[in-house]
Amino acid sequence: MLVFEKNSLTTEIEALIKKYGSNRTSLLPILQDIQILHGHISDFAQQEVARILDIHPVEVYGVITFYSFLSIEAKGKYIIRLCQTISCDLAGKASIAKVLEGELGIKFGETTTDKKFSLEYVNCMGMCDQGPAMLINEVVYTKLTPHRIVEILKTYK
């Protein structure tokens, strides 16, 4: 008789379902935890979540693509999200974006070859009176200047 070893990702997903429950409202927290643990939600993880929750994989994919904090692609260890909404735009978002791209050698939407940094735009995150604003993973940085960007990036390199 053949015995297949259970994939460790399947075991992880089962543990998350135990933690959050197996109804539809559990889908988002489960995906958020997979994102935190793996930096993205792979095709296999999507299939397994759908299978175990008994929902269609398209539903899982739809949730991932709706939320900017979830991703189907592997991203950098540090995900830099610069606000692109009007207040931050007027406060100098473009010059901040230029410095970020120059310092990291990548464009927005890209990840450095060493998989350390990813650059993304996000919409308003509620710091409009303190723009330009950005997030590096869960840390918020406000009142950014080109000089501050260089100093902030030094602490992550």
Q: What angle do CA 79, 84, 86 make, to 5 degrees?
A: 155
Tell me if 10 contacts ligand FES by CB under 6 A: no
Measured CA to CA, the distance from residue 78 to residue 96 in angstroms comes to 17
Tell me if 87 contacts ligand FES by CB under 6 A: yes
Measured CA to CA, the distance from residue 84 to residue 71 in angstroms comes to 19
Q: Which of 42, 45, 13, 47 is nearest to 30 (CA)?
A: 13
Closer to ligand FES by Cβ: residue 76 or 131: 131
Tell me if 49 contacts ligand FES by CB under 6 A: no
H-run or E-run covering 146: helix 146-154
Q: Site for ligand FES (CB under 6 A): how many residues?
A: 12
Q: How far is the CB of 71 from ligand FES (least distance, A)?
A: 21
Q: Which residues pair with 40 in a beta bridge?
A: none
Q: How far is the CB of 119 from ligand FES (least distance, A)?
A: 16
Tell me if 99 contacts ligand FES by CB under 6 A: no
Residue of the chain from 26, 32, 85, 95 that contacts ligand FES (CB under 6 A): 85
Residues in 122-151 at the binding interface with ligand FES, rule: CB under 6 A: 124-128, 131, 133
Measured CA to CA, the distance from residue 83 to residue 136 in angstroms comes to 11
Cβ proximity of 78 and 137 under 8 Å: yes
Tell me if 39 contacts ligand FES by CB under 6 A: no
Binding-site ranges for ligand FES (CB under 6 A): 83, 85-88, 124-128, 131, 133
